Structure 1
Amino acid sequence: MSAESTGSAILDQYRSISNKLKRRFLRKPNVTEACESFTVLGQHCEKEELPTYAGLCWIAAAQCEGSLANIPGETACLRRSAQQFLASEIKSVSLGCPTPSNENLSAALSCYAHATTRYPENSQILAVNIHLEIVEALKKLKYTDKVEMYLKNAVKLSDNSLEMHLYCLENLGGFYISCGDYVSALDIFTELANLIESTPSNAARRDILLMCEINRVLMLLILRPVPQSLSVDLTRILEKYTWNQKIDKSLSQLGMSDAFFLLLQSLVLTCQANDVTCTAHLENELWQFLNAQQKDLLRVLLQIYK
């Protein structure tokens, strides 16, 4: 069966279910039955890899759930509808045939927005997850112009959950790095580090704090700010690698090795002295200690000093 005939059959079923919801004389429509029918049809569309049709079915199911005052069911259907519209948009873009005016993306964002309004006020983490879901989809679609807005909203909404808040801040800082906005990224990673330092320590937070330390060192070397313009916190970061003869105790507690400290110190001193003779060697030695984001920062840094 062709995609057109399959789509036509699905639309016929959709209309048939919708017609059952119309009021008849002295007969009340069976909304529960219609909701179940839209759900089954939506699942069938997903199985047949027809995400746009699935999205329409899940919207109809959400409307039925709303009529039945089943808020969790309504939000779940709205979210599933959004996911299907996004899947359709991603598929179209990957095939080089994006929809006119990105209509599937618009439909997805509309469903997500409606879902967030239906969550109770004490369920902000669910709203945060929706924003992060949107961010991942926008990145896949390479529509980065709205990513910052959704990440900032996620940071704001996660304010009452420390672990989620840290995760959102880390994502926002990483986004700024990917855009080459190192000033904003430096601010975010400094905020992240200050927040962690004011909370009880654990292994996960120490890992994040070490990541913030390395990121900030690399970004400071990239930005080359005037010393007088640096905050006390940022000045202290560079001083660790400029004046200390051995690794700082606080860095050891974060899990930084002596070897890594000496390499970072060599990098800082090399950049401050504008000495490019050993940068290639330092790049090779540092590589094993850096994550993917930090490797990108190091590439940018070394390009500046070439």
Structure 2
Amino acid sequence: MFRPWALSGPSIQVDPLFSHYLNRSAVSIAEEIERAGYRTVHYFVVNESKVNGELVEAFHKRGIAVWALVIGNGTFTTAHLPKEWPQWRMGLVRELHDGFERLSLFSQPYLNWKKRAVAELVSSYPFDGIEIAEPYFPEWDGIRRGVYGDVGLLAQQAFREQYGLEMPDFVNKSAANYYLNNPKVYEKWISFRVDAVNRCIDEIMNGVGGCREVRPDIYVATWSLAINGGHDAEAKLREWQGLDAPAMIARVRPNIHFLQTHWPDWMQKNLSPDYIKGYERFASPIRRAYPKLPLGVQTDIGSLPSMVRDRRWLDQFQMSAFELNYDAWTAYEYHLGGN
């Protein structure tokens, strides 16, 4: 059944692996979401081989459109990955041990596996849409904080093959190839990373054997970050995380694009519900270049105990989103909100 409302109006992100949804029937979960007023959900697929098909069916029986939302730059679990997955790891300036395995967008075996996994996902379950919510590199202000990548062997080799140059150094300030000492090489590096992000999404969605080939009817959404990070925030996201939304849209040709609230914004305890007014610097270039493309915005309503948002806040956020002419909005994650 065709559900065009997947591209407009309010929606909510749902991760059925959270305890709120466990030991319950699919019907009870779908009824709860329906009573909360949502006609569209974004099903957070943590593991592409572990999906609750009954829940997707229960949503559909209530006229609720369902997006499959997958992560592009890593995984919370490696149980479903082939044994060679450690070779896919992304290299960071300072290695983290935070429970999330970051995988390299320069690993062709990883991209091949991801494309097959996502294509099988949308072939096996009747999702209305498919989206990669986090296809970018780490991290906001990552070079200073040491949370910057990909600087591993795969990235070094790919840069050398494309430009005949060595990857910039991000640690040793006295090195000849320290990134600030050679602006021309660093600009090539920035563009190289933007292309890697967009190529990854394009391959999964539009490549041979990708989502659109196996499911020509499926909606495709692209996601990029937005942040109240100063007058040059767009340039910073391009530099630090490889994000260029207009270029991404041009390459992937999505049915809708979402601006995802970055963590320095959503983690604020007293964040104003109209904070997305500051995102016009991100929305305007997209609207100018693609005036007919639906544009959505995402927020977070409770990932930290100190910033849980209640329904009143969410209603005010919705009002702000529609006053700013967004076609759709969504929030992470339904049961975390302070309703």
Task: Tell me if both proteins adopt one fold, taking TM over 0.5 as the criterion.
Answer: no
Which protein shows a greater Rg?
A: 1
TM-score by length of 2: 0.24
TM-score by length of 1: 0.25
Which has the higher relative contact order, 1 or 2, with Cα contacts under 8 A spaced 6 or more apart? 2
| Structure richer in helix, relative to its length | 1
| Structure richer in strand, relative to its length | 2
